[in-house]
Amino acid sequence: MDLIYATDRKVDVGVMRNYTFDLAFGSDENNFELTTGINNHVCRPGYFLYIENTEYGGIIDRMKVQTDTKVLVYKGRTWHGILGSKILEPDAGEDYLICEGEANAVLGTLLERMGLTDLFKASTVDSELVIHSYKMNRYINGYEGIKKMLSSVGGKLKTRFQNGFAVLSAEPLVDYSKNEEFDSSQLNFDVEKNYNPVNHMICLGQGDLKERTVIHLYADGQGNISHIPSSFGTDEVAEVYENVNAESMEELENGGISALKESWNSDSLDIAIDSERNYDIGDIVGAREHITDIFVAQPIAKKIVTIKGDIVTTSHKVGT
C-alpha cells in the first residue's frame, strides 16, 4: 500500500517512507496528520497525499516541526475536508439551492458549483438513487450538504482516489442493524431510547391571532404522518413548528413534516467500534443492552484511520 506524494499540480513525486498517517472524517475534523522524521522532509504546502483506489488522502495545509525530537508533521484536509471548506449557497435572487436528478449527476453539478473539478470527479455510473427537488440548507458546507442530501434518499457518499482525481459516488447506505447487533456483553456503550417521541406537530404560518395559518400533523406508532389524530391523553406529545415566511400551505406543511421527523432523532447510541468490517459514514449499526433490552440503531458518524507501513487500523464512532 503506497502512500504517494504529489505536487500541487498533481504530478506524482514519490512514495512516503517511515511514517504514521492518521486520518479522521465524518461528523467533524475531516483532516489528517502525517508524522515522520525531519530527515524525511519531501513535501511542501499544497502537495497532495493519496493511496490509489482508497478514500485515504488530502491536501497539505500546514507543517509542524519538533526540533528536540526531530519530528516533522504534515497536516491538512482530507478529501472530505476539502468539500467541507466550500459553501453551497442559493443562486442570486433564490431562497434555496434546489437539487434534482440522478444522484451522481447531481454530485457532478455540485462539484462544478464549488469549483472543484480540477481535483474531484463524480462517478458516471447510475447510482439508482434519484434526488427529488431536494432543498439544500442555506449556506451549508459542501460535505455536510452532500451527506444530508444523499441521506434523504437512503444514500451515502463514497470517495475513492483514482487516476489523479478524488471520485465521488452515491451508493445506497447499508443498515447492518437489521441482521446483526452489538451486545453489551461484547463491548461497552451508552444507549438511550425515547419511547414517547413527538407525535403531534402544530405548524404555525403567516397571519395574526385567529387569522393565522395553522396545520396539525399527527404521527402514528409506525411513523405514518397524516392529519388524523392517533394519540390521545398522556400518549400525545405535541410541539410547535413556526415558519412565518412560508409562502404556501404546502411549504408550511413540508417544513412541519421535516421538523416532526427531525424530532424523532432523540434515541442515542455512543459507541466506538474496532471492527474488521469497513463501515462507511452513514451506514447504520445497532446495539442492544441485554438487561433492559434497549435497542437503538444509529448511523456511523465518524471514521478514524491510522496507517503505518502496510498496517491499516480503522475504528468507527456512532454518536447521538
178-234: pLDDT as tens digits: 888 888 877 888 888 888 999 999 999 999 999 999 999 999 988 899 999 999 999
Residues 6+ apart with CB under 8 A from 67: none
- Regarding whether 310 and 181 lie in a shared domain, the answer is yes
Q: Which residues lie across from 32 on neighbouring strands?
A: 23, 76
Point out the domain boundary residue: 41, 57, 82.
82
Q: Give the residue-averaged pLDDT of 165-190.
A: 90
Least confident of 1-10, 85-94, 226-235, 265-274: 265-274
Tally of domains in the chain: 4
Give this prediction's pTM: 0.83
Reported as a pLDDT band with limits 50, 70 and 90, residue 73 is very high
Do 40 and 144 have their domain in common? Answer: no
| One domain, residues 188 and 289 | yes
Distance CA 23, CA 118 (A): 23
Which amino acid is present at 291?
I
The 10s digit of each residue's pLDDT in 21-65 is: 999 999 888 999 999 999 999 999 999 999 999 999 999 999 999
Domain check: are 251 and 136 in the same one?
no
Mean pLDDT of the chain: 93
Q: Are 188 and 295 members of one domain? A: yes
At 166, which CATH number?
A: 3.55.50
Strand order in the sheet with 155-162: 120-122, 165-172, 155-162
Q: Which domain holds residue 228?
A: 200-260
Indicate if 312 and 181 belong to the same structural domain. Answer: yes
pLDDT at 319: 65
Look at residues 42, 64, 82 and tell me which one is the last residue of a structural domain: 82
Q: For residues 274 and 181, state if they share a domain.
A: yes
Return the DSSP state at 122.
Answer: E
Q: Are residues 216 and 204 in the same domain?
A: yes
Q: Say how many Å lie between the first and final Cα of the chain, rounded.
A: 34
Same structural domain, 75 and 111: no
CA-CA distances (angstroms) from residue 29 to 21, 39, 79?
15, 28, 12
The radius of gyration of the chain from alpha carbons, rounded to an integer in Å, stands at 23
Domain boundary among 31, 55, 82: 82
Q: Mark whether 182 and 213 lie in a shared domain.
A: no
